[in-house]
Structure 1
Amino acid sequence: MQTAIQLYSLRALDEPVTDTIARVGETSLDGVEFAGTGDKPPVQIRRELDDQHLEAAGAHVPIEAIQENLPAEADNCQTLGVETLVVPILDDSALADASSIDETASILSSLAASVAEYGLDLCYHNHEFEFADVDGRPAFERLVEATDGVDFELDVGWAYAAGADPVDLLDRYADRITRIHLKDVAVDAEAERGGHPVDLGAGDVPLDDCVTAAEAAGVEWMVFEHDAPDDPVEFLRQADAWGETR
């Protein structure tokens, strides 16, 4: 299982993405996952990736951008060496009830077929709302089972904060989960999102168990993420330390 960092975690550094990639190149991590590329041209970013011997673990791209401008997005992916487009989030109304889930599954499946024509895979990344109860079971489960050709990037932190068991999900959906976001969360039943992200090892998520389950499931990428670290450089150091053990 390869290791990467979601560059969104390091956005507070307020520096060109090429400089951030150079920082990652000083660690043991194998790659980066994009969430935008700033104002640097893809060819320059690819050059920095190559210079640092890093791979592109994927790219988070809003579903509207994929739907409306797929040729351009695919061209950027080819330049960057990205093989997987990740839909980072949908409005929670997309999974509000059984009918909405089935419609969303159809949209994602169709989009997966479209990106496949460009040699790309499509992934969906969860937050918490996907685990709301719909007709007696989590919406996430129905979405996975109703989609065709769509992979999943399991954010273990948000899944856990929502009351789900990420280890069980990795076991049951091993053939559909190709990457995980390794995120720690301090669970708070009174918080709006069920908890808040914290440094690795400082929260409630059973990270070691999640990593072991991900390895057993054949997950391709373990992507470290913190939505709002107090010290991005320290979080990168933490990710590096975790990455060295895998």
Structure 2
Amino acid sequence: MANEKIKVKNVGIQLYTVRKEMLADATGTLKQLAKIGYKELESARSEKGLYYGLQPKEIKKITEDLGMTLRSGHVHIDKDWDSTVAAAAETGQDYLICSSLPSNGQTVSNYKHVADMFTKAAEDCRKAGMIFGYHNHEYEFEKENGQVLYDVLLDNTDPELVKMEMDLGWAILTGNDPVDYFNRYPGRFPLWHLKDMDKAKQESTEFGKGAIDIKKMLQVADKSGMKYFFVEQEEYAGTAMDSVKHNYNYLQKLSI
């Protein structure tokens, strides 16, 4: 039927959302997330390493046994980059995402330097069978001489080699329209962080309680080239697990 609405499937989560829980009991927390219904996972650096004290092959097996896929991971480009790439390849993940700007300086020249770093990192990832990407915050949308710094990264990297993980919350909170980016840079955004934002507090909140139109964003997923999205929330009204349950249930009630 032409008017048939599509349900949201393959809901992912960025594990930073449950960072304390993962550090306390990684396996138990993954079991809870699987029980809620989350299917796709993105890891983040922690006090216990890239995989919360688990070895790469361990987390691969645990997630697979739970019917989940470790799809991506947030890392830094630093002195341990080679071992970071090797460990990520062991997990079988598809994407390796630089989680924050690896060089200081809110200037066009620095962002061009970072773009060169990203090109090299992306080549390393490709050799290891993965796709490299970058996750934005809010500061990338600052300007120098009228030039948006985020655009410098996009314009100075190969669109086939360097992808972007659009954090929808930060993009919208800074007054930018993700759809504008999807139109100008089609196919560059295979990954998303899906979050709602409290504008007054300038922080994340549970779906439906903030300023982001979650449904509208999901309706333009094809335009961005989005393959996977990860629910992310850094602050909570109650417990982290209550919030991830709320967010999952909110998505299950949507028809796109």
So what's the TM-score if we normalise by structure 2? 0.85
Partner of 1:214: 221
Residue correspondences, number: 237
* Partners of 2:19 and 2:216 in 1: CA distance: 28
Residue 154 of structure 2 is aligned to residue 144 of structure 1: yes
Per-residue Cα deviation, 1:179-220 (whole angstroms, up to 9, x for no partner) = 1100111113xx6xxx11111111112222111112343301
* Alignment counterpart, residue 60 of structure 2, candidates 40, 46, 59: 46
Mapping 1:67-106, distance limit 5 Å: 68-70=80-82, 72-90=83-101, 93-94=104-105, 96-106=106-116
Matches within 5 A, 1:195-210: 195-210=202-217
Aligned pair partner of 2:165 in 138, 153, 160:
153
Question: How big is the alpha-carbon RMSD for the aligned residues of Structure 1 and Structure 2?
Answer: 2.0
Q: What are the equivalent positions in structure 2 for 1:183-194 lying under 5 Å apart?
A: 183-188=195-200
Match of 1:37 in 2: 51
How much identity, in percent, do the aligned residues show? 24
| Partner in structure 2 of residue 27 of structure 1 | 36
Preserved contact between residue 184 and residue 198 of structure 1 (Cα < 8 Å): yes
Instruction: Return closer, same or farther for 1:3/1:171 CA change in 2, 3 Å cut-off.
Output: farther
- Does residue 1:128 correspond to 2:142, yes or no? no
Match of residue 3 from structure 1: 11
| Structure 1 residue aligned with 2:24 | 15
TM-score normalized with structure 1 length: 0.88
Q: What is the Cα deviation at residue 243 of structure 1?
A: 4.3
- Structure 1, unpaired ranges of 5+: none
SS at match of 2:164: strand
8 Å contact 1:157–1:182 — kept in the other structure?
Answer: yes
Per-residue deviation, 1:76: 2.1
Q: Distance in 1 between matches of 2:15 and 2:53?
A: 14
1:243 and 1:215 mapped to 2: Cα distance?
17
